[in-house]
A and B are shown apart, each in its own frame.
Chain A
Amino acid sequence: MRFYEFESRRIVERAGIPVTKYGFCKTADEARRSATEIGGPTVIKSQVLTGGRMKAGGVKFADTPDQAAEYADEILQLEIAGHLPVGVLVDPKAEVEQEYYAAVLWDGRAKRPMLLFSDMGGIDIEAVAEEHPDHVGRAHISNLHPIFDFEAKQAVARCGMTGSELGRASRILAALAHLQRDYDMTLAEINPVARLTDGSFVALDAHMEMEDEAVGRHRKFLESIGVDLAEPREMYQPSEFERNVKAIDAADHRGVIQGKDHGFHGNLGLVIGAGGGSLTLTDAVRSQGGKPANYAEIGGNPSVAKSCGLAKQVLQKEGVDKIAVMMSIVSNTRVDIVARGVIKACLELGKDPGETIAIFRIPGAWEDEGYKILDHYGVEYCDRSVSMWEAAGRAVAKVQGGAA
């Protein structure tokens, strides 16, 4: 679950991390009052769950409360990447001496939280890590043992910080580590942490993401900081493909399908799934030069209609030449039912299944029955003796060899 900046600010504040005085406002008048209370120049920021706010005109600097109100009025009506803001954040224009970066994120490879700190904050941390690796301090912490302040101190010290600055920055990173654990955050990031002219450290901007499965556990906390749990929080407007797949899934309780195509523009449609199989297979396709047209997940024994519905949506995407139907090994999804679904999709769209389905690799329950169907329609298939990597490679080779 993603949070708006003003919510992240509240979360950070609750964790005892110093923040500047700020106001979340839904009207221009509220923004004027907030700017008056803050005093001095302010920054008016659009509250949307998408990036590129500055470029889109969603962040403006105001010298007076009236100007703050004027900018708030403009920003509140400004759509950014298809999103209208839920409000504006009014922040003081802080007198910053130096900006830092602090984060605690879940390291999927190490299966442990990782502390990150850099003395080059306010900019893209990936670029800093690549170009100035000596300016990024990292340290993994335990999932089980208490979080010790010295662990945060070690991460901060790796950037070369010493003295009282080291102590102040370490306290912020340690508090962030506790926050990450206490609230099941997959990402707890403050960028920038600022050292102000008076020597104090404050969080100027924060970005929090909570593990979706943990939202129910933190319902009371979330409600206490004003999070509307009924509000959908997509980073972008779902595409027609995504909306259609969701509707097909919702219309039939049997099995589960999901489909995403945000950022995918390839010619190989994917009907994939099973216990991590979707990610593995997507990676296998891309690693072998293939260009997926979408990402999908199918499983839980979907009906023929649901399998057919997903396959049709994939096949109707612009630029799709062929589809690859692949899973790892399934015990709770019937191979023959999925085979019927994807073949039916081809036939209903006037396509030859044998030409359109680049590869069918779903080993598992009722596979022999599935193979009879695939044989009948001339679809190339393989069993578990062919790895997911190899099956993906065959699909890529086929789609690169020519369109159906």
Chain B
Amino acid sequence: MSERHAIFINIEIDPAIAADAAIAAKLAEVCPVDIFSATDSTIALVPENLDECVLCNLCVDAAPPGGVKIIKLYE
């Protein structure tokens, strides 16, 4: 009965950009449902918000090519 996160969506971040403070800030800024959190100049995912992903791809566009991948767990 416990709350389950990330049933439908997962996000993969390329480790090469995870520590980039500028990209971290940008991802946190563009995501409309607060999936990304920029803390200590690194990017972190907010697990409880993953399933709120609206598939807008703003994060994909904000990161260098291949830096962020949205994975639909139901496909």
Contact = CB atoms under 8 A, between A and B. Distances in A.
A296 interface: no
Interface stretch (B13-21, B22-30, B47-55, B61-69): B47-55
Contacts, number: 34
B7 A344 contact: yes
B38 to A, nearest CB: 22
B74 A376 contact: yes
Nearest to B51: A304
A324 B51 CA distance: 22
Nearest to A350: B1
A373 B7 CA distance: 11
Contact of A340 (B3, B7, B75): B7
Interface string A166-184: 0000000000000000000
Chain B binding surface, main DSSP class: loop
A347 B52 contact: no
A211 interface: no
Nearest to A252: B52
Chain A binding surface, main DSSP class: helix
A326 interface: no
A349 interface: yes
Nearest to A369: B55
Given A348-B1, A349-B1, A372-B74, A340 B8 contact: yes
A348 B8 contact: no
Given A304-B52, A348-B1, A350-B1, A343 B75 contact: no
Contacts of A336: 55
A373 B8 contact: yes
Contacts of B55: 336, 369
Contact of B7 (A334, A343, A349): A343
A304 B74 CA distance: 15
A47 interface: no
A243 B52 CA distance: 24
B75 A372 contact: yes
Interface in A299-349: 303-305, 334, 336-337, 340, 343-344, 347-349
Interface of B: 1-4, 7-8, 33, 51-52, 54-55, 72, 74-75
Q: Which 4 pairs across A and B sit closest by C-beta, in order of nearness?
A: A376-B74, A373-B74, A304-B51, A340-B8
23 contacts: A303-B33, A303-B52, A304-B8, A304-B51, A304-B52, A336-B55, A337-B54, A340-B51, A343-B7, A344-B7, A344-B8, A344-B51, A347-B4, A348-B3, A348-B4, A349-B1, A372-B72, A372-B74, A372-B75, A373-B8, A373-B74, A376-B74, A377-B74
